[in-house]
Chains A and B, each alone.
Chain A
Amino acid sequence: MIEVTGLTKRFGSKVAVDDLSFSVNKGEVLGFLGPNGAGKSTTMRMVTGFLPVSAGKIKICGISMTGRPKAAKRKIGYLPESAPLYKDMTVQGFLKFCASLRGLGGSARRQAVEKSIETCFLENVARQSIGTLSKGYRHRTCLAQSLLHDPEVLVLDEPTDGLDPNQKLEVRKLIKNLGKEKAILFSTHILEEVTAACTRAVIVDQGVIVADGTPEQLTKEGGGSLYDLFHKVTTFETPAA
């Protein structure tokens, strides 16, 4: 459902994403691994239609992101890396706002908001102003936003970043569950998450895929340890832009 071929992004002379190709099918959770600065977020920003591509093709459920961006965007739920929110709104108000922009109205909107509040365990804070929430709740509010329209494709940029261990566990379980029905692309630099939630993983380094396989295959490739593989195939310090 996500098909990416030859995806490239240049910022000036710097190549952030270099001729990347991968695909994610329904029922798959693809882990996007890589050190900081590898180009994970840039890739996701292009897949979700936020950044224009320098070269390459993106198809979401068969719809070209460059050709029909609005139709393609409807199919995607997206959690950006920094989990951005409007801090002056309440959790419920924010979700209602996002649902409206997703084209939902009336009782469909109310149900969508209720459901994603429930899925992300936000009942306790639904009427609270986002500015007063702790980081874990904020992150989950933004995650809830990505689920509102029950999208076929989910793109999650470091969805467990900044959560405490319990919350991390919950979110991983959630991703695994959602992954049965959807195509999920999620990035992380926490290697345990690969075995915990992914059906497949790629390791990206300096904009290029350097390893690709199921968690078992990758572990085997690293001689029994994902860490060793990660260490072997990635550069230690990505030069700053």
Chain B
Amino acid sequence: MNTLTIFKRELTSYFTQPTAYAIVIIFGFLSILLAFTIGNFWAIDDASLHGSFFRSIPLLLMILVPAVSMRQWSDEHYTGTIELLGTFPINLRSAIWGKFLASAMVWALALALTFPIVSAVNYLGDPDNWTIFSGYLGSFLVCLTFLAITTLVSAFTRDQVVALIVSVAICCLLTICGWEPVINEVRRTGPDAAQAVDIMTKFGIYSHFFEATLGKISITSLLYFFGLIIICLLGTNLVLKSQRA
């Protein structure tokens, strides 16, 4: 119940301020733009959208997700409203989940708004829509993971800019270290690099995300995403509790 109350408040708050609108629109615009430019949408005849559209999604999300949610807990510290939440007869857990799910809703909406590209491939050919759906699911899992990281980081500081910078840095690290160009670069350094490549691929978000865009989501990948999410949210609880001690 309390989770729902807080969820509703947060969601309303996102859409009474221009930030969420702006970022959802920027995301929709850029993701489609990138699909047609560096994604080579026309040239590669990519009906699953794997190589054109989905390829650049994590690169956008690693910056835009923290931008939407940097205020999640830092503002609560900054304005002191955490003192209200902390003295209401509610569990901290419900507040953390309520806020997290509200941001998740914003991203579900943002992803949904990229539907024109799905209509486009359906109009142009006969794509495997299950694979596309799986790609969207993967994108959403990336959103949730970055969101959980932002949640945790924003619990540490009352300064939303600091929260933004630190969470972008962490999300970038997760994204870049599994990104093809970087992996290729490391691989080129010699045969000894094999192990490093292996670790980077497993640790990075791209390998897990790519699986999804190809239509297969493995248990390992699910464990990776949900593991990170749960660790970050439990960490948030711990940080918020220990700050008062």
Contact = CB atoms under 8 A, between A and B. Distances in A.
Interface of A: 45, 48-52, 69-71, 73-74, 76, 78, 80-82, 84-89, 93, 97-98, 100-103, 145
A129 B168 CA distance: 32
Nearest to B2: A101
Nearest to B90: A101
Nearest to A90: B16
Given A52-B244, A145-B84, A84 B16 contact: no
A102 B89 contact: yes
B13 A80 contact: no
A49 B87 contact: yes
Interface string B217-245: 00000000000000000000000000011
A147 to B, nearest CB: 14
Contacts of B90: 70, 101
A69 B88 CA distance: 10
B184 interface: no
Interface string B74-111: 00000111111111111100000000000000000000
Contacts of A49: 86-87
Contacts of A45: 83
B87 A73 contact: yes
Given A49-B86, A84-B82, A98-B88, 15 more contacts: A49-B87, A52-B245, A73-B88, A76-B87, A78-B84, A80-B87, A81-B80, A82-B80, A86-B81, A88-B17, A89-B9, A93-B12, A97-B5, A101-B5, A102-B88
A223 B90 CA distance: 48
Contacts of B86: 49-50
A103 B80 contact: no
Given A74-B89, A78-B87, A50 B5 contact: no
Contacts of A102: 88-89
Interface residues of B, number: 23
A86 B88 contact: no
A109 to B, nearest CB: 11
A190 to B, nearest CB: 21
A84 B80 contact: yes
B109 to A, nearest CB: 18
B88 A51 contact: no
Interface string B10-38: 00110011000000000000000000000
Contacts of A97: 5, 9
B88 A101 contact: yes
A80 B5 contact: no
A84 B87 contact: no
Residue with the greatest number of chain B CB neighbours at <10 A, chosen from A84, A85, A87, A103? A84
Nearest to B5: A100
A84 B79 CA distance: 6
A93 B83 CA distance: 19
B83 A80 contact: yes
Nearest to B9: A97
A78 B80 CA distance: 13
A97 B5 CA distance: 7
A103 B89 CA distance: 8
A71 B91 CA distance: 12
B87 A88 contact: no
Residue with the greatest number of chain B CB neighbours at <10 A, chosen from A73, A86, A102, A103? A86
Contacts of A88: 13, 16-17
B1 to A, nearest CB: 8
A84 B81 contact: yes
Residue with the greatest number of chain A CB neighbours at <10 A, chosen from B2, B87, B244? B87
A48 B13 contact: no
Contacts of A74: 89
Contacts of A71: 89
B79 A51 contact: no
A68 to B, nearest CB: 10
Contacts of B16: 88
Closest 8 CB pairs of A and B: A84-B80, A73-B89, A50-B86, A84-B81, A80-B83, A100-B5, A48-B87, A70-B89
Interface in B51-80: 79-80
